[in-house]
């Protein structure tokens, strides 16, 4: 199972959470950013509906798969401030 971690960081004069290189909106306080990150992490773990996925790999080959909607990642929130 995949593991993803949301990081709490200082950003644009406030605080944000980020996943890889993508930032959330900026929050005025650390606590607001932490609560928003925790809510995002919880949503990420919820099962969804089965869906078809079509994607292209690095070699340019297309693949078609079905995602069951139950293969959700484990999530965590880490304070990097």
pLDDT in tens, 13-41: 999 999 999 999 999 999 999 999 999 99
User: What burial class does residue 47 get, using C-beta atoms within 10 Å of its C-beta: 0-12 exposed, 13-18 middle, 19+ buried?
Assistant: exposed
pTM of the model: 0.73
Q: Are 14 and 27 in contact (CB under 8 A)?
A: yes
- How much of the chain, in percent, has pLDDT values that exceed 70? 99
Q: How confident is the model at residue 1 (pLDDT cuts 50, 70, 90)?
A: low
């Amino acid at each position: 199972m995949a593991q993803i971690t949301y990081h709490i960081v200082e950003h644009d004069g406030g605080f944000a959470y980020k996943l890889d290189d993508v930032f959330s909106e900026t929050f005025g306080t650390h606590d607001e950013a932490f609560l928003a990150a925790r809510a995002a992490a919880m949503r990420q773990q919820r099962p969804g509906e089965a869906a078809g996925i079509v994607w292209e790999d690095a070699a340019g080959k297309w693949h078609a798969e079905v995602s069951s909607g139950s293969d959700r990642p484990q999530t965590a929130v880490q304070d990097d401030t």
